[in-house]
Amino acid sequence: EPIYLSMGAEPDGVSVLDNVIGPDGRVGCLIGVAEEGKLGKFGQVFGHSLSFHWLDPEDIQTAAQTVTRVDVRPLSNPDRPDARRDPEAIALTRYGGRPIAVAATERGDYLMVLDLSDIANPALIGSHKIGDRPEGLILVPNGEDLIAVTGDEGGYGPGTVSFVRLRALP
C-alpha cells in the first residue's frame, strides 16, 4: 500500500528505521521522507517538510500511518522562517540510545538533527551550516560519534563534500 503525501510534496529522500515504538505502542518501522516541494503561484507552500510514517512490518498490506510532518523552514534558519528550504535527504538511525533523523536542506544549506524519541513530536537537537545545495547524505559511525557526509552540488560554483561530526547527545 503506498504512502500518500501532501499535494506537491515531491519526495527526494526516504529512510527507514526498524524496531521503533509506534503511536499505538507496537513495534514497527519508522519511515522518514524529505519532501522538497515548491511554492505555489498563489503563495501556498508545498513540501518543505520532513514527514514521518509508521508501518507494521507484519502487515504491509495495511497503509502506513502518517504520524507527523515537520516544516523545516523555521528549523534550518529561524531568521527567515518563510524562505524556501527544500529538504533533499534524510537518514534515520539510533544515536545515544534514541532514534534520530538527520536531514539536509538544499536551499537552506543546513544539516539538522531531530530527536525522534516521541515520534509524534520530533524535537530539533541542532543544526549546522554545510556546503552549497546538498543533494546526498550518508551517516558513518565513528566510535561514539557519527560523521554526516553530504554531497553538495555547488549551485553555480564548484561542488563540495561536507563532513560534520555529530558528538554524543546530551
Q: Are 38 and 8 in contact (CB under 8 A)?
A: yes
pLDDT of residue 52: 96
Whether the full predicted model's pTM is greater than 0.85, yes or no, is: yes
pLDDT of residue 168: 66
Task: Read off the C-alpha cell for 25.
Answer: 505502542
- Hey, which residues does 99 pair with through a beta bridge? 94
- Hey, which residues does 102 pair with through a beta bridge? 91, 113
- Give the residue among 60, 11, 57, 7 at the shortest CA–CA distance from 34: 11
Alpha-carbon gap, residue 129 to 148, rounded angstroms:
12
Q: Are 163 and 153 in contact (CB under 8 A)?
A: no
Task: Read off the C-alpha cell for 49.
Answer: 517538510
Alpha helices in 10-157 (DSSP H): 73-76
Q: Which residues contact 34 (CB under 8 A, 6 or more apart)?
A: 11, 12, 13, 14, 50, 87, 88, 89, 90, 103, 104
Measured in degrees and rounded to the nearest 5, phi and psi for residue 73 equal -60, -50
Q: Are 15 and 92 in contact (CB under 8 A)?
A: yes
3-state class (DSSP) for residue 75: helix
Alpha-carbon gap, residue 91 to 76, rounded angstroms:
16
pLDDT digit string (tens) for the chain, length 170 residues: 788 888 778 888 999 999 999 888 889 999 999 998 766 666 666 678 999 999 988 887 777 899 999 988 888 777 777 777 888 999 999 998 899 999 998 887 889 999 999 999 999 998 888 888 888 899 999 988 999 999 888 777 788 888 999 886 65
Residue with cell 521503533: 20
pLDDT of residue 154: 76
Alpha-carbon gap, residue 144 to 122, rounded angstroms:
22
